[in-house]
Structure 1
Amino acid sequence: MNSDTITVPGAAMILITSGGILNHVIIIPMLLRAAGRDAWLSVLLAGAVQLAVWIPLILFIMKRSRQQRLGDWLRRRLGAGLSRFVTGLVALYFLTLCWLTLRDVTGWAKVSYLPGTPKIVITAAFAIVIAALAGSGLRSIAIANGILLPIVIVLGVFVMSANLPHKDYRLLFPLFEDGYWPMVRGMACTGVGLSEVCWFLFFQHRLKSKARGLPLLVVGVMLIKLTLSSLLGAIAIFGPEESARMRFPSYEQWRLVTFGHFFEHTDFLSIYQWLCGAFIRISLGFYIALDMLGLAGPKSRAGTLPLFAALLAVTGLLPVSDTAFDDILTNFYIPGGLIFIASFCLLLFFLALTERQKAGGRA
């Protein structure tokens, strides 16, 4: 168990990759529909809330809990019965995130570059690889991510730079054409993605050293940057109305990239970015769900992960249309995910406050 630890920078890199697939890809269509041209301002304001509220809150909780395993800390503070209920909800939340990510990525793969491949083959391949990575432990996830992430970043810089001739940043203005409410709706969409900096809490006991403010700040800023880069590119290239009608605006930006007249269709490079983000995100989600259930040990993982992978594959094959899935993301995941993670962090905050008072009383 002690060998399955990672450095704080390694943890930050994992969260950048995991949060990147959500903030850079998944929420962009919903954000554009909710806020339109004002979406980029929604990201800046939600980012300010994240940096001013979320990160100090997370640091406070980590300090007061002394970076104990959350399941053990909750059991001591809430009792066995209530803590099992809370950790069960958290595990269900992460398993739901795994399904949403798998469904989104396999749907994109089927539409973009594997239209003739049966969906069961795509889904089963994802589930097997993800289960193998999650079963190897958090340290293996961190090592794999350390290899994959630099190339993801290079490709991101490449597509952003290559599309500069197509961008017209005058399309970002004017703002507030429909009042302030679209911007507020956009902040809710952005908030669910930026709040994932709190994932530090779920493996804080696996960190080799005490968490400091700088790594959390780096993750927070990177999540903001990842959201803004994809969003600004979509609006500046396609305009707010056209980009809002797209299912995968980030992928459409890749389709514009060419090397002169001889090398076109470089969008195949986006496959690497999508798959890396999905593999790390779902593997980490599996690992956290197992840890919250007290099943993160090697023997427990070996017995439970095949069941989780089979469940993920079966649910990934459910006949959910792309329109219905988009409605699930927009109407359930965005508001529900933000409410759940905010409520859970508030619970931890109040428990941390009480912990401080008790410590003061004993002193």
Structure 2
Amino acid sequence: MDRQNSISIVHMSMIGLVAIGFKSHVLVIPPLIQTAGRDSWMTPIIILAVALLWAPLLLYIHKKTQDQNQSLFLWLRSHIGKIPTYIISTLILLECMSIVSFALNDTIVWTSISYLPSTPNYFLTVILATTSFYLALKGLRTLAVVNFVLIFAIVAFGFFVSISNLQVKNYSLLMPFLENGIRPVLKGTVYPASGIVEMVIFILLQHKVKKPLKYKHLAWNIVLLSSLAIGPLMGAIIEFGPKEAARLRYPAFEEWGLVQLSEFIGHLDFLSIYQWLSGAFIRISLYLIIISELFPLQKKTTRKYIMLGVITLSTILVCIGASDTIFYKWEKILFLPLTAYIFFSISLILGVSVWLGSKKSKKKAQG
């Protein structure tokens, strides 16, 4: 383990809360409300229960591989062979590239819609991509420090908007429960699941964390990430109503527009810019770092060029990409559900691979 670039489990958790929370708190809300309607707030609770049962699988993978004091993929390569390991790495690489591209595009679309409509999208894209790439180059430890500085204001602003809007909240809009049955709720669970399954990053970066993971670490992160989804979901429904909330492109952002502290103090939605850009900045940088860790590369320059290639490709795709309407359909129908299925499948594949690798090692030791 590179102690100079390693971080504590607390810092890893804080990074996860911002990077994954950005998705759970913002990106999954629109399709989730459109799918599950008034009862959409129930879906994170269901996924919370399922995820707590899924966490032991991550813990099993971690315990079987972290003793080797090396990355997960080095362990896999030495236990199950190069070809299976590179297949797994390539699958994760493609998913991480998609995450970077969609996070970048969502941020640029929101920026253009909300406060910089006249600024060329390519200019905004290049700025965000460049700063994220620069942070990723500095490594996980620097990312943890930057995230530590940003997270307190992110959380404070979140509580601020929630408390400030108490005057306009109508909790009766949450009822009647299950008016359309349980089916829409179950159908909508794929969206909060697409956020929770990204907890796999704790395994992908385990060689960068100083102390071993425990179940309580995973459980607390799952609970906190689920709460990050429940809050804005309920807020959007009780502040706008289920029908109006379903029409909004970014309900979590629109909640800021309701903040009115007094006759002379309002229009505080500019504070959400800090929240959004901080989340996107950390999320993109984190997944660039993960991409650089997927393959056993010794030279730092090679890692740098891989990250540069990914962020350049993502920038090009965003600049020449489809309209927001088409992009949103892709995100709702393809990206978010596929992320849930792919990361969950990856956890199963890793679990089986680790089990087979451990079994193979025992046979060699006995033989």
- Using the TM superposition, give the Cα deviation of residue 360 of structure 1 relative to its aligned residue in structure 2, in angstroms: 5.2
CA contact (8 A) 1:168 1:237 kept: yes
- Using the TM superposition, give the Cα deviation of residue 207 of structure 1 relative to its aligned residue in structure 2, in angstroms: 0.8
Q: 1:87-113, CA deviations, whole angstroms, 9 ceiling, x for partnerless residues? A: 012111101100000100110000000
- Using the TM superposition, give the Cα deviation of residue 138 of structure 1 relative to its aligned residue in structure 2, in angstroms: 0.6
CA contact (8 A) 1:8 1:209 kept: yes
Which residue of the partner structure matches residue 62 of structure 2? 62
Which residue of the partner structure matches residue 303 of structure 2? 301
- Using the TM superposition, give the Cα deviation of residue 135 of structure 1 relative to its aligned residue in structure 2, in angstroms: 0.4
Which residue of the partner structure matches residue 50 of structure 1? 51
CA contact (8 A) 1:43 1:186 kept: no
TM-score, normalised by the number of residues in structure 1: 0.96
Within the candidate set 242, 245, 259, 1:243 is matched to 245
User: Identity rate of aligned residues, in percent?
Assistant: 33
- Using the TM superposition, give the Cα deviation of residue 356 of structure 1 relative to its aligned residue in structure 2, in angstroms: 4.4
- Using the TM superposition, give the Cα deviation of residue 258 of structure 1 relative to its aligned residue in structure 2, in angstroms: 2.1
295 and 109 in structure 1: CA distance in 2 versus 1, 3 angstrom threshold: farther
Which residue of the partner structure matches residue 176 of structure 2? 174
Instruction: Provide the C-alpha distance between the structure 2 equivalents of 1:212 and 1:78, rounded to a whole number of angstroms.
Output: 25
CA contact (8 A) 1:287 1:296 kept: no
Amino acid corresponding to residue 157 of structure 1 in structure 2? F
Amino acid corresponding to residue 198 of structure 1 in structure 2? V
- Using the TM superposition, give the Cα deviation of residue 316 of structure 1 relative to its aligned residue in structure 2, in angstroms: 1.4
Runs of at least 4 residues off by over 4 Å: 358-361
CA contact (8 A) 2:253 2:269 kept: yes
Within the candidate set 70, 76, 79, 1:77 is matched to 79
Bigger mean CA offset, 291-300 vs 123-132: 291-300
Unaligned runs of 5+ in 1: none
Aligned ranges for residues 175-324 of structure 1 at < 5 Å?
175-295=177-297, 298-324=300-326
Instruction: Provide the C-alpha distance between the structure 1 equivalents of 2:99 and 2:127, rounded to a whole number of angstroms.
Output: 18
Instruction: Provide the C-alpha distance between the structure 1 equivalents of 2:149 and 2:348, rounded to a whole number of angstroms.
Output: 35
Instruction: Provide the C-alpha distance between the structure 2 equivalents of 1:294 and 1:206, rounded to a whole number of angstroms.
Output: 14
Bigger mean CA offset, 13-22 vs 176-185: 176-185
Which residue of the partner structure matches residue 7 of structure 1? 8
Instruction: Provide the C-alpha distance between the structure 2 equivalents of 1:172 and 1:340, rounded to a whole number of angstroms.
Output: 32
Amino acid corresponding to residue 59 of structure 2 in structure 1? L
Amino acid corresponding to residue 294 of structure 2 in structure 1? M
Aligned ranges for residues 27-46 of structure 1 at < 5 Å?
27-46=28-47
Instruction: Provide the C-alpha distance between the structure 2 equivalents of 1:275 and 1:91, rounded to a whole number of angstroms.
Output: 24
- Using the TM superposition, give the Cα deviation of residue 297 of structure 1 relative to its aligned residue in structure 2, in angstroms: 5.3
Which residue of the partner structure matches residue 24 of structure 2? 23
CA contact (8 A) 1:135 1:298 kept: no
- Using the TM superposition, give the Cα deviation of residue 355 of structure 1 relative to its aligned residue in structure 2, in angstroms: 4.0
Instruction: Provide the C-alpha distance between the structure 1 equivalents of 2:66 and 2:312, rounded to a whole number of angstroms.
Output: 36
Which residue of the partner structure matches residue 148 of structure 1? 150
- Using the TM superposition, give the Cα deviation of residue 116 of structure 1 relative to its aligned residue in structure 2, in angstroms: 1.1
Report the RMSD for the aligned CA atoms in angstroms: 1.6
Instruction: Provide the C-alpha distance between the structure 1 equivalents of 2:26 and 2:291, rounded to a whole number of angstroms.
Output: 23
352 and 84 in structure 1: CA distance in 2 versus 1, 3 angstrom threshold: closer
Amino acid corresponding to residue 144 of structure 1 in structure 2? V
CA contact (8 A) 1:152 1:273 kept: yes
Unaligned runs of 5+ in 2: none
Amino acid corresponding to residue 340 of structure 2 in structure 1? L
Which residue of the partner structure matches residue 343 of structure 2? 341
Instruction: Provide the C-alpha distance between the structure 2 equivalents of 1:193 and 1:16, rounded to a whole number of angstroms.
Output: 11
CA contact (8 A) 2:169 2:239 kept: yes
CA contact (8 A) 1:254 1:266 kept: yes
